[in-house]
């Protein structure tokens, strides 16, 4: 099955995402450099997102949304509350949810590292 992709439509969606990200970043009082540092990526990556040349990977989207105090849904589609309409309570909740997600991911990474270390130990014993 072949899926037809309208490149102009996809490009427009990327630009709209970039414009929303720029608005949210500025409303959060962050520079591109600040956001890049907090995301663990380069300033050029943030610039590419904002220019609509690319989008962050799904696993980075929740963190990105939390850092600029908007929902991932708003960043992707513009639906829901944007950066100017969120109450401080909602922003705190979004940040809290971002922290919970990061802790969950951190825990999963630690489990995977432990598993790999155990596998390596078994291989070393058998070598």
What is the C-alpha to C-alpha distance for residues 82 and 37, in angstroms, rounded to an integer?
Answer: 23
Residue pLDDT, tens place only, 5-50: 334 444 555 578 899 999 999 888 899 999 999 999 999 999 999 9
Angle between helices 32-39 and 58-67 (to 10 degrees): 130
Which domains, from first to last, does the chain contain? 7-126 (1.10.260.40)
Please report, to the nearest 10 degrees, the dihedral formed by the alpha carbons of residues 56, 59, 63, 64 taken in order: 10
Q: What is the pTM of this model?
A: 0.58
Query: What pLDDT is recorded for position 96?
Result: 82
């Amino acid at each position: 099955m072949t899926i037809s992709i309208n490149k102009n439509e996809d490009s427009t969606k990327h630009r709209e995402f970039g414009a929303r990200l720029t608005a949210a970043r500025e409303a959060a009082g962050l520079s591109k450099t600040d956001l890049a540092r907090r995301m663990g990526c380069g300033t050029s990556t943030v610039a590419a997102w904002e220019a609509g040349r690319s989008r962050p990977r799904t696993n980075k989207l929740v963190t990105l949304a939390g850092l600029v105090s908007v929902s991932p849904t708003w960043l992707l589609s513009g639906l829901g509350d944007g950066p100017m309409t969120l109450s401080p309570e909602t922003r705190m909740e979004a940040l809290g949810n971002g922290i919970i997600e990061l802790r969950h991911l951190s825990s999963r990474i630690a489990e995977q590292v432990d598993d790999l270390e155990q596998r390596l130990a078994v291989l070393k014993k058998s070598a």
